[in-house]
Amino acid sequence: MHPVLIQVGWFTIHSYGFMLALSFLVGILVASKRARNFGLEPQHILDISVYIILTAVVGSRLLYVAFHLDEYRNFLDMFALWEGGATLYGGLLLAILASYIYTSRKRLSFLFTADALSPSIALGLAFTRIGCFMSGCCFGKVTDLPWGVTFPTDCAAGYYSLRIARELSVPAVKLHPTQLYASLYGLITFLLLFLFERRVRKKGGTFGALLVMYGVFRFSLDFFRIYEEDMLVLFGLTLNQVISVGMFLIGIYLLLRKTSERRSAPSGNAG
């Protein structure tokens, strides 16, 4: 793996931080081009993106730290975002809350704004999970499948696989590259949302489709992920799986609810 992308003297660019920044940049560009189709000015996207970036980073880190306190030697280590360690749902939920507050104050439609941003969220998942793979975090369980990955021992995934290999008295074990599963699904979701929008233009439809698709995927993926016992919160399900169920149900509601509000027809710069 390559947790450090570039290092020249004291100047260091970490893989996870770089992919996170890239996901925000590309996501903002895509959403800005889509804005007018949802009754928004591109400037609204730029403004709300500031709040989304801050709350997404803080929320994802806080939820991760809350369940991994034993990993940090001191308080300042909790702010070392470049080392990886974030829970997507923490950032997503806090970012949604911040977006709702922002759109309410600006008298904008929260659901149309969420529709405009939904493909960017999926694309952001595709980018950031590559960063997770390069950092060796968010890894999966042991597998003998041909695409299983043997991680180096200087990352969390490698340390875990080394421990399991010693317990099994084997030279090495392979793990599910769940980071790459998530990245691929993020890209597929990004493409499917555009296909979905060609048929359904109802308010909240794209956002609902995102919640349903990601909720189903994340619930399924977590059966292949490694989690500490503290993350098992209900009937053997992880916290993320419980949240996934909630997201799925909200998404179904948005898709099935009746509304007369529709977005405008796609323009040439719909992205």
95-144 pLDDT tens trace: 999 999 999 999 999 999 999 999 999 999 999 999 999 999 889 999 99
Task: Write down the H helix ranges in the chain.
Answer: 15-34, 42-66, 88-105, 110-135, 156-168, 178-197, 205-221, 239-256
Whether residue 165 has pLDDT greater than 70: yes
Does the model's pTM come out above 0.85? Answer: yes
- Burial group, residue 236, by CB count within 10 angstroms (0-12, 13-18, 19+): exposed
Residue 250, CA atoms < 13 Å, CB-side half-sphere: 15
Whether residue 269 has pLDDT greater than 70: no
User: Positive or negative CA dihedral for 16, 17, 22, 25?
Assistant: positive
Q: Which among 172, 159, 173, 179 has a CA at the least distance from the CA of 225?
A: 179
Q: Which among 24, 48, 22 has a CA at the least distance from the CA of 112?
A: 48
Residue 227 has what pLDDT?
85
Residue extents of the structural domains in the chain? 4-141+176-255, 142-175
Interval 85-103: pLDDT, tens: 567 788 889 999 999 999 9
Q: Which among 57, 78, 60 has a CA at the least distance from the CA of 69?
A: 78
Q: Which residues of 25-44 are buried (b: 16+ CB within 10 A; e: fewer)?
A: eebbebbbbbbbbbbbebeb
